[in-house]
Amino acid sequence: MHEYSVVSSLIEICEENAFKNKAFKIERIVVGIGERSGMDKSLFLSAFETFREESQLCKDAILDIIEEKIELECKECGYKFIPKEIEYGLCKQCGSKNLKITKGREMNLLSLEMIGENQDEG
């Protein structure tokens, strides 16, 4: 259930960005969530619905979630690839099992759509 604390922090970051950019409304929040981030998408959405009601800036915001695939890098040959289930443990280039995850474990704020004092709504 760490989704609730992550979403709480996300809302704070969005509000800080809105303040810095003199925006009075956040219309859309786009986040990337890696498939190995440990985030449950349905819990994340539920937490967002709860927390956005408490935020004057985010109360009408739409949340878009982009699911990001895992990317592996071979420590032996340096080859980077997006694995399929069946080949998850082996490098596609050299067959090594010495792999590290380079993408797909994080959650990132990708973009914000805001309305500022010099913009019209709609």
| Domain residue extents for the chain | 3-116
3-116 maps to CATH 3.30.43.10:
no
Give the helix ranges, DSSP H, for the chain: 3-20, 41-52
pTM for the predicted model, two decimal places: 0.82
**Can you give the C-alpha Rg of the chain in angstroms?**
18
Residues present in the chain in total: 122
With 0-12 / 13-18 / 19 or more C-beta atoms within 10 angstroms meaning exposed / middle / buried, residue 68 is buried
pLDDT tens across 66-109, in order? 999 999 999 999 999 998 865 668 898 999 999 999 999 999 99
- Percent of the chain's residues with pLDDT above 90: 84
pLDDT at 120: 54
